[in-house]
């Protein structure tokens, strides 16, 4: 597994923990905060989950964009539109 693929898996795991249902007075668990710091997203226990979800998706989107192969120019069929 490449470094990018591993980071995508980590981001997915953290997103699942951050975006899960929670009570209004719940703080971010220590393990989630540690994982966020580890991937370069500093936060504290009261950082809004909505903000973290936005930042995590931005990071994931940039990784996915970097991993997509580019079009090779004329003579190479571009990927089909989704």
Q: Indicate the range of 2-11, 29-38, 46-55, 60-69 predicted with least confidence.
A: 60-69
pTM for the whole thing? 0.74
**15 class by beta-carbon count within 10 Å (0-12 exposed, 13-18 middle, 19+ buried):** middle
Which tens digit of pLDDT belongs to each residue from 1-40?
Answer: 788 889 999 999 999 999 888 888 888 889 999 999 999 9
Q: What does the pLDDT read at residue 77?
A: 63
């Amino acid at each position: 597994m490449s470094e990018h693929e591993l980071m995508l898996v980590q981001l997915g795991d953290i997103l699942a923990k951050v975006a899960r249902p929670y009570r209004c007075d719940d703080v971010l668990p220590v393990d989630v905060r540690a994982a966020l710091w580890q991937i370069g997203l500093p936060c504290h226990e009261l950082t809004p989950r909505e903000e973290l979800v936005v930042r995590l998706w931005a990071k994931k989107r940039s990784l996915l964009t970097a991993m997509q192969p580019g079009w090779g120019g004329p003579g190479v069929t571009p990927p089909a539109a989704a």
